[in-house]
Copies of this chain bind each other. A is one copy, B any other.
């Protein structure tokens, strides 16, 4: 049936919006719990300017810890996000196996985020992707604001699909469409991923939805039905993007895994572990996080 790979991005997209810095030892506890839960890919952080995003200052340290023989275990893959060449060099130095990068299809979002127009950012990211592929890395390249933009509104679908084609031409094997604003709907999800499959039926497809309008799991379902395999979600439904003007949590990992398990999929994942991190995060940030499962407890069978 469906192949569903969980890519946990809570430590990156979940934390970058939080002002209270999470100590490395707490992140380590969360990562250990995620590994034990059986999550497939864990994004340890991003390689950005620690002065600008202090929450991500220990990404190099985390890679050092999880690449050490004592910690490296199981089949878990560790990913990172890089935004520019300098970040890519740091990621290579850290021995990151999977490197994620992307640009925004929205000119306004791209300018606010990177100071570059989309075309310039695209050219730069595509060059970085080639470098990382040449270095033997698993590269996931994404298009942000792929389903619409909080600043600009609609983003032409053909243009987004065109960027996916550029990635594929550059040798990228894993393409992610990121719904930065939470504007995606199931029909659009189906249409856009189908269009990418028409360009290359063997490309790995990844999605990154935000639950702004409560459609997160419906969009994941539509993506599953269209053959998307990689799902980027965050424990507790934490997160958002500092560069859009909308409050937007990620799809909640444990809520998504709960749906999967109720459908008979990925039943080997220990979802209690993930819900436990959401609870820990509530305590740590002294606030409710958006997820449902950790508040309600499991479905009775």
Given contacts A185-B262, A262-B188, A264-B187, contact A301 B154 (CB under 8 A): yes
A220-263 vs B, CB cutoff 8 Å, 1 = contact: the mask equals: 11100000000000000000000000110000100100110011
Contact A187 B217 (CB under 8 A): no
Copies per assembly: 2
Residues in B with CB closer than 8 Å to A264 are 187
Given contacts A154-B301, A246-B296, contact A185 B259 (CB under 8 A): yes
Specify which of B151, B185, B255 is in contact with A214 (CB 8 Å cutoff): B255
Greatest chain B CB density within 10 A among A247, A293, A299 is at A299
Which A residues between 194 and 229 are near B, CB-CB below 8 angstroms? 211-218, 220-222
Contact B218 A300 (CB under 8 A): no
A126 within 8 Å of B (CB atoms): no
Which A residues between 262 and 301 are near B, CB-CB below 8 angstroms? 262-264, 291-293, 296, 299-301
Contact B217 A153 (CB under 8 A): no
Classify chain A's interface size. Answer: 35 or more
Contact A187 B263 (CB under 8 A): yes
Contact B300 A152 (CB under 8 A): yes
A149 within 8 Å of B (CB atoms): yes
A183 within 8 Å of B (CB atoms): yes
In chain B, what residue has the closest Cβ to A293? B213
A139-160 vs B, CB cutoff 8 Å, 1 = contact: the mask equals: 0000000001111111000000
Given contacts A150-B300, A183-B299, A186-B221, contact A213 B259 (CB under 8 A): yes
Given contacts A214-B255, A217-B214, A222-B221, contact A300 B153 (CB under 8 A): yes
Contact A213 B296 (CB under 8 A): yes
Contact A213 B183 (CB under 8 A): no
Which A residues between 71 and 115 are near B, CB-CB below 8 angstroms? none
In angstroms, Cα B220 to Cα A129, docked, is 39
Tell me, rounded to whole Å, the shortest Cβ–Cβ distance linking A233 to chain B: 12
Residues in B with CB closer than 8 Å to A222 are 221
Can you pick out 12 interface pairs between chain A and chain B where the beta carbons lie within 8 Å of each other? A148-B300, A150-B300, A153-B301, A183-B300, A186-B263, A188-B263, A213-B255, A213-B292, A213-B296, A214-B259, A214-B293, A217-B217
Beyond contacts A215-B255, A247-B296: 9 other A-B pairs, Cβ-Cβ < 8 A, are: A153-B299, A153-B300, A183-B299, A185-B259, A186-B221, A212-B296, A213-B258, A214-B252, A218-B221
